[in-house]
Chain A
């Protein structure tokens, strides 16, 4: 397949996926973003950089993560053969470490002396704080004050790891506001500071760089499925906030036209209620945080607040490559509600002995709906991108259990 009819060729040299993506940032940042792009392009083809990253992935993060056949769940649902890509078993408990190790290595290579990050659920913050501890680089994590409250265990973890956590009270005090504040810090410190973005969004080259680091998920899945079943999977399912775990799983399969690919957004109280975080299902294209993508907004372009039980999906935007994949029809995007995710969270705990994070519980909620309707020989892979330890307090509260 050549570049012209490939779904994997983007972005173009200006960072566009169709009309999406780009670099909508203040001029102060622009020269540094161009430097970052150059540094990343050089690192990407440098065997020493690749070798160092692979070494860290293997011996520090614990890759490859297993591809696990969920036999009991498969039997119970009576349809597709369900596999989990166990990225929740990575060091720090989610897929976020895949991207962070790459970016912090790059920061070191660029001679940056300070790293900043935004975080929602705290998983990206914990991963960044972890890598910064490992490389002995000062780290500041911006986190909405609402999230600081609902993800207290991760806040403590970041502090243990030596990072400074700055609560953000502006706006809705969640992930988007944390990102605003990180960008404000970066504009003032750009010469010494590396901004480690946690998802496949932001100005070019972040969406493709983060995708490249996360694609290890999909590459391993291909090999593992070939080894287990002798063929590629039929169906891929992943949850989507900004979309990094999904892009990591999907991207290596985009040109395999027989592989059905489904992204699951956070439907909150239901997309029809207006209280949700499903920007592809319920939003329109617009410009925020350095890129053009689908956003939740009013007719003037004011960003509206997202709602989700999952802090990691509580974001009114989405990575620009997902926006493009929706418009060209390569990937299906659906949503699951808070309640469906909560039910899935409990189900997986009991049936497979795995407590998932609330984020992949959204993907699982869709699997619970979809799998029974698929034939038994349909090989379905769901990215189990995070573990639920961080969520037990929030879920207990929601279920009315006092700890």
Chain B
């Protein structure tokens, strides 16, 4: 059983939804980025999405675009991203928190899907969320991911109709990521009612856990999602807290880490409180 599946079973046993936090690898620099990664589980992250910066992030809004630029400027690379995960597993001894790499397919294609999956597994990665790899092209990655016990989390969108959904689910493992808005990351939010309807529709077709993301910015919004879905994904709003911790010259201020972690604790509290009342 993969770490992702185990984590969702544990959440189910606890009777609550999970918080999935997205951070960009290498943002704002390699050292601080590692400190953020290391502190995420204690701050309340149940699963971690680690963004692989790309020069041309077509599905991302301004916040995550800027984070990727900061990381690339700081010298992030795929080797260094894998090294971050390896160090996380070695230093924290955390063998339970799943880490999923999120990004664009060219990073995988350049290394070759087979080698990329082997390197990811060896580093302690648990799976992938690849924004520009729809089921139509996913057969390139799936066999290599499976051979290494890595989950492939596919995205579904409001535009994914009932006829198309089985094709998406065929390649999905770990959980299903529902993109709750038509749009790019971090720009607009959906309503609790609309999300509820989409999640109910998804549940009729899959037994996989369902995570909902895009546009969740506040503990209340995270709680709304946690009432109906199995996990709430927060990305842009966290990345904006990283940016808020930088001075005019882009150097990290002492309150960067506390600022990021206190925000994640608030989100986590929102998610944990959702089903108590």
Contact = CB atoms under 8 A, between A and B. Distances in A.
Contact of A302 (B55, B65, B157): B55
B56 A26 contact: no
B55 A27 contact: no
A286 B182 contact: no
Interface in A64-115: none
Interface of B: 54-61, 65, 72, 77-78, 104-107, 109-111, 131-134, 136-137, 154-161, 164, 168, 179, 181-184, 187-188
A205 B106 CA distance: 20
A176 B56 contact: yes
B110 A299 contact: yes
Interface in A143-184: 170-171, 176-177, 180, 183-184
Interface string A24-65: 111111111010000000000000000000000000000000
Given A14-B136, A300-B110, A27 B104 contact: no
Contact of A24 (B54, B133, B164, B188): B133
A289 B58 contact: yes
Contacts of A285: 109
13 contacts: A24-B134, A25-B132, A27-B134, A27-B179, A29-B159, A30-B160, A183-B59, A187-B182, A295-B106, A300-B77, A301-B54, A302-B54, A303-B106
B139 to A, nearest CB: 10
A297 B107 CA distance: 11
Interface residues of A, number: 39
Interface of A: 14, 22-32, 34, 170-171, 176-177, 180, 183-184, 187-191, 285-290, 292, 295, 297, 299-303
Contact of B107 (A24, A176, A295, A300): A300
B18 to A, nearest CB: 22
B159 A297 contact: no
A166 to B, nearest CB: 14
Nearest to B154: A27
Contact of B56 (A14, A23, A31, A171): A171
A23 B138 CA distance: 10
B160 A27 contact: yes
